[in-house]
Amino acid sequence: MEIKDRKITFRTEIEFIGSVAEFDKLTTVLVDQPIRIRAEWPKDHTAGCWPIEPQKLISESLIEKFTIDTPRFKLMKPIPGGIRDPHLHIKDEIFLLGRDQFKELISQVSMKLAGDLASVADHVEAVGAIRNLVQKS
């Protein structure tokens, strides 16, 4: 076998910085290549992962408010990754959120969760949840 015909292995980390259209173009090309794409996360990885889908907590009309006229793209199942910008997964789409939209979404979800907790938890547990948020701000 000639060296030029031999298969090679190449591994690197890619950080994409670009527009939604450019990302869509990149992912379309990547899924058609002879590559395996995976994210190497620790077993208990939860960074960026919602513990419960926001759409299970807040109204459909609020979700629509966050997603209407919002840049979106189809979720590329063979491409696991970690979008660092504020976004929301709904079915097979990812919706990119502006900082104000993200702040409002987080506020609505956390308000619902805090209210649900307060209805069943004792005082110490409910206030403790708020204490954890205060320590981060």
What per-residue confidence (pLDDT) applies to 91?
Answer: 83
| Ranges of the chain with pLDDT below 50 | 78
Token pair recorded at residue 38: 């995976």
Q: Is 99 left (phi over 0), alpha (psi -120 to 50) or beta?
A: alpha
What per-residue confidence (pLDDT) applies to 11?
Answer: 80
What is the C-alpha to C-alpha distance for residues 9 and 13, in angstroms, rounded to an integer?
Answer: 14
What per-residue confidence (pLDDT) applies to 59?
Answer: 92
Instruction: Report the predicted TM-score, pTM, of the whole model to 2 decimal places.
Output: 0.68
CB 92 within 8 A of CB 70: no
How many separate domains does the chain show?
1
Question: What is the 8-class DSSP label of residue 51?
Answer: S
What per-residue confidence (pLDDT) applies to 96?
Answer: 87
90: Cβ contacts below 8 Å, ≥ 6 apart: 55, 63, 67
What is the C-alpha to C-alpha distance for residues 22 and 24, in angstroms, rounded to an integer?
Answer: 5
Q: How far is CA 105 from CA 23, 77, 86, 130, in A?
A: 24, 25, 10, 17
Question: How many CA atoms does the CB half-sphere of 96 hold within 13 Å?
Answer: 13
What per-residue confidence (pLDDT) applies to 74?
Answer: 76
Range of the domain at 40: 3-136
